[in-house]
Amino acid sequence: MNSSLLIIFILGILYLIIRYYIPKIKGYIGERRVSEKLKRLNNKEYIVLNNIELKIKGSISQIDHIIVSDYGIFVIETKNYKGWIVGYEKDRYWSQVIYKYRRKFYNPILQNQGHIYALKHVLKNYPYLRYYSIITFTKRATLKTKTYTDVVYTNKLIKTIKKYDSAYIHERTKNEIVATILTARKNIRAEDKSIIANSTINRNISCPNCGGNLIKRNGQYGSFWGCTNFPKCKYTRN
């Protein structure tokens, strides 16, 4: 191989590497910006989990942000695209338009529905949970979308989350839910293990009535194990 062909070969490899990694880098930057904004939420009401990978039925679902809150479960998909973003609720594909350049990408609402499906599978012992799908774009984009699902700029994200203000999840249940998600997490980290270890969920004992997890509760006559599906399931054990 002469020097000219070698240079062309190297440039081709560099082009493929750049083309592969640049979108990932931009996506990471967008996720980091959203993560910083989510730190403004009151950590007594909202528990923020970033970059969660769940393996369901052989498929990996990578979820940018999950918020376990007093008000329900928020599932957030972050996009760091620029240009006009054009799309409708049920379109299979949306379009990114920059002057004469036009590129299709999978509808992030449908993408996030897949994430919620995976999360519901992990949290099947909590069938009463409400899930809120939010798609957020940085200000690099100009949104030309018409949807029922919340599709907002990152600077409107906190306000969008706080409009859901009907509390129904107790502190202990929130901690159980977080521990359940982190236990199912494929990309588990060292800090996750300490949270799981401190959880009140007894994962070695299943409810014989419904198969749910048993958690430690305090009653009139002391501590006991109760089913997480209470009040639908009233099973208890000393």
Residues 104 and 165 in one domain: yes
* Mean residue pLDDT across the chain: 81
Residues 65 and 123 in one domain: yes
A 10 A CB-CB count for 59 gives 9
In a domain, 5, yes or no: no
Q: What is the distance between the alpha carbons of residues 174 and 197, in angstroms, rounded to a whole number? A: 15
Q: What is the distance between the alpha carbons of residues 107 and 61, in angstroms, rounded to a whole number? A: 15
Instruction: Determine the pLDDT at residue 215.
Output: 67
Residues 105 and 175 in one domain: yes
Residues 51 and 67 in one domain: yes
Residue with the larger pLDDT of the pair 69 and 214: 69
DSSP state of 152: E
Residue with the larger pLDDT of the pair 120 and 23: 120
Residues 122 and 207 in one domain: no
Determine which of 57-71, 176-190, 211-225 has the lowest per-residue pLDDT on average: 211-225
Instruction: Determine the pLDDT at residue 151.
Output: 97
Residues 26 and 131 in one domain: yes
In a domain, 101, yes or no: yes
> Which one, of 114, 113, 105, lies nearest residue 61 by Cα?
114
Mean pLDDT score, 73-83:
93
Residues 157 and 206 in one domain: no
Domain that holds residue 210: 198-237
In a domain, 29, yes or no: yes
Return the bridge partners of 185, or none. 54
Residue with the larger pLDDT of the pair 192 and 92: 92
In a domain, 2, yes or no: no
Interacting residues of 229 by C-beta distance below 8 A, sequence separation 6+: 125, 126, 127, 207, 210, 212
Residues 185 and 216 in one domain: no
Determine which of 1-15, 33-47, 160-174 has the lowest per-residue pLDDT on average: 1-15
pLDDT at 102 over 80: yes
**Long-range CB contacts (within 8 A, 24+) of 53-58:** 53/185, 53/186, 53/187, 54/118, 54/119, 54/121, 54/122, 54/181, 54/184, 54/185, 54/186, 55/186, 56/117, 56/118, 56/121, 56/122
Instruction: Determine the pLDDT at residue 9.
Output: 63
Domain count for the chain: 2
Residues 148 and 219 in one domain: no
Residues 221 and 139 in one domain: no
Residue with the larger pLDDT of the pair 234 and 184: 184
Amino acid at 184: A
